[in-house]
Amino acid sequence: MVAGASGGESFSLEGYELLVDLVLAVLAAFLGGLVASRLKLPVMTGYLLGGIVIGPFTPGPSSDIHRVQTLAELGVALLMFALGTQFSLHELKQVGKGAAGGGILQVVMTILLGIPVGLVLGLSFTQSLYLGGMLAISSSIVILKLLLSRSEVEALQGRLALGIGVVQDISVVVLVVVLPALAAPNQGTLSDLLINVGLALVKAVVFLGLTYFVGTRVIPWILYRIISLGLREMFLLTILIIAVGTALVAQLIGLSFALGAFLAGMIVSESEVADDVLNEIIPLRDVFASLFFVSIGMLINPGLLWDNLLGVLLVVFVILVGKFGIVAGLLLLFGYPFKAAFRAGLLLSQIGEFSFVLARTGVDKGALTTQIEALVLSGALITIILTPVLYQYLPPHFDRLEEWLEKRRIRLRAARIAAGVIKEDIKPAQPLVPEPVIYDWPGRDPRLDGMMKNLSQEIQRDHRSAAERWPYRKHVVICGYGRVGRELAEAVRRRNFEVVIIEHDLRRAAEAIAKGMLVFTGDATRQVVLKQARVDQARVLAVTTPDLPTAEAITREGRLLNKELEIVTRSSDIRAIRALRQAGAGNVVQPEIEAGLEFIRRTLRAYGVSGVELQGLINGRREKHYGRQKS
């Protein structure tokens, strides 16, 4: 009861409890997100902490957890619907065999790792499977935020982590079908178990078929008619009806609410209005997803966690160490570089939003208790906080470890050769299969021969003579054959200048070789690789990678090898320009700045400003951002 300001009148909030809980939850999400943003943590962390503050287990203002969870269900539906709308088979194909295979194996191996961990914690076998499933799924939001903050989205570790993340997201769809079937109470024997899982899969396939039929025949027609009316709010209401309605139908027939929402989004993704749907749903998704995370935080009991501290620490250890080891080990097994494999493993060493969805499904089906859910969610909260910190401080140690292992391997090999255990590789005088040409010059590092032998067959060097192909003089060395490197290489070659590519991704290297370019695979931050590309004889070194630490290292090594070298680097962060200039870059290109200058050029040209006046204005703006650069 709230007393009135006059007349002793009192006002009652009876009947407004849901609105009070909604306001309190949104306020907790806002303040928590603000604090997390100031601490440079994912905002999801702030939402979880905000939920703990207004939860029933902490002093202060408190919301009714059941009412908040009812609102949060809409957040689950919108999260899964948006995932389905963004789902693309083409995107899945672009992940690459290594990331796809590594992602599938990682999910399976993490689930298997969860079984003994669950049994140690006193869980049943089914609950242990659920535990493994929750530990297997990483937060795509955390991964993307970390990569964007360090300008590593296009770096190999970024593409690997995001690719495996796509596979993990798809695995959620399978897990929300299979795990509830495994937890069904009426199974006793193995045959009962198989029957339950089989029925669940058949039911899901039939539901998918019906949803697909309705989605391809009816939904596009409805959406087109709504769009033609020009009523934005009607279009948004239609999307909500499709997302939540399909999720409710799935729940009614025994499938999960989350699966229904995902399938609805996947069907909509096949229509021509998918982009419009996504643009409308994302703001609403973000609002209700924040309520979902707040509701998850409300389940965390700090006192209970303190009483089960060893269990929480075990879960955190498995996520940070066990999952990291699985991801990094699999990527190394698939032939990815040490540096990229370890960084990708670190990026994936946390759990997030879809693990929460899986946990909520387990509780709803009676397979998990709220105590187990809270235990895992606490581990998730801790790992989400720790991952950005670890990713900032551990990579330099990974690099030193790689150098130590390489030196140790060379020493052991030399010792085994000296002891007569193995023999040095001796080439036959007239090999039946032509060997790749090994270019030679004074001061050349002999380790380059071994590096070139490790290339796969499709990446082998061409067999033209050294006189035909090397040495170049005043050539351009391009580090990275991504979109920027590809455009630069084509433009330079059209002017008949020589180009040498350094690329660690074998697929990109193969693409460049197929176009007749000389390509070296390896880590361009290592001086030995830059020497192979004869940077000491080059005119220009173009560093196209958006990864700041990598770009700095390449620039520094290039400047040491050639004091007169023209070094052009790319910076995806305005704050990184000074660091790259200090490392030795003569010119820095920042995409957002250049886009802004192009807007200025085209806009002022429309008003008749051109020639020297326009160019002077552009040059002045460019110097303001970059400082004085070489022309």
**In the predicted model, is pLDDT for residue 598 greater than 60?**
yes
* Cis preceding-peptide flag for 471 (omega within 30 of 0): yes
Confidence of residue 390 (pLDDT cuts 50, 70, 90): confident
Structure-model confidence comparison of residues 360 and 459, the more confident one: 360
The H or E element containing residue 208 is: helix 190-217
Confidence of residue 358 (pLDDT cuts 50, 70, 90): confident
Residue 628, pLDDT score: 62
- Report the 10 Å Cβ neighbour count for 201: 14
Packed helices 274-298 and 370-393: angle between N→C axes, nearest 10 degrees: 110
Structure-model confidence comparison of residues 54 and 445, the more confident one: 54
Task: Please list the residues that pair with 587 across neighbouring strands.
Answer: 568
- Report the 10 Å Cβ neighbour count for 513: 20
Structure-model confidence comparison of residues 564 and 532, the more confident one: 564
Burial grade of 468 (CB within 10 A; 0-12, 13-18, 19 or more): exposed
- Angle 357-363-367 (CA atoms, 0-180°, nearest 5)? 115
Section 217-243 average pLDDT: 75
- Report the 10 Å Cβ neighbour count for 116: 12
- Report the 10 Å Cβ neighbour count for 27: 14
Task: Please list the residues that pair with 476 across neighbouring strands.
Answer: 499, 540
**In the predicted model, is pLDDT for residue 328 greater than 70?**
yes
Residue 368, pLDDT score: 81
Q: What is the pLDDT of residues 395-419, one digit of tens each?
A: 888 878 877 887 787 788 777 777 7
Residue 466, pLDDT score: 39
Task: Look at residues 119, 146, 143 and name the one whose alpha carbon lies nearest to residue 131.
Answer: 119
Section 23-52 average pLDDT: 84
DSSP reduced 3-state for 541: strand
Section 477-499 average pLDDT: 87
Number of H helices, E strands in the chain: 29, 8
Residue 326, pLDDT score: 93
Structure-model confidence comparison of residues 120 and 82, the more confident one: 120
Residue 471, pLDDT score: 54
Residue 341, pLDDT score: 87
* Residue located via tokens 């970024």: 158
The C-alpha atoms of residue 40 and residue 37 are separated, in whole angstroms, by 5
Q: What is the CA radius of gyration of the chain?
A: 29
Whether the model pTM is above 0.85: no
Section 357-384 average pLDDT: 80
Average pLDDT, the chain: 75
How would you write 439-462 as a 3-class SS string?
Answer: CCCCCCCCHHHHHHHCCCHHHCCC
**In the predicted model, is pLDDT for residue 435 greater than 60?**
no
The C-alpha atoms of residue 396 and residue 402 are separated, in whole angstroms, by 10
Confidence of residue 298 (pLDDT cuts 50, 70, 90): confident
**In the predicted model, is pLDDT for residue 193 greater than 80?**
no
Q: What is the pLDDT of residues 445-467, one digit of tens each?
A: 454 444 444 433 333 444 333 33
Contact 511, 500 (CB under 8 A): no
The C-alpha atoms of residue 272 and residue 277 are separated, in whole angstroms, by 10
- Quote the percentage of the chain above a pLDDT of 70: 77
Structure tokens at 515: 């176009």
Contact 172, 358 (CB under 8 A): yes
* Cis preceding-peptide flag for 434 (omega within 30 of 0): no
Contact 114, 106 (CB under 8 A): no
Residue 540, pLDDT score: 93
Contact 588, 581 (CB under 8 A): yes
Residue 479, pLDDT score: 92
Section 110-134 average pLDDT: 87
Contact 502, 558 (CB under 8 A): no
**Range with top average pLDDT, 90-94, 183-187, 472-476, 497-501:** 497-501
The C-alpha atoms of residue 519 and residue 533 are separated, in whole angstroms, by 9
Please give the single-letter amino acid code of residue 115.
I
Q: What is the pLDDT of residues 56-104, one digit of tens each?
A: 888 877 777 777 777 777 777 777 777 677 665 555 555 566 667 788 8
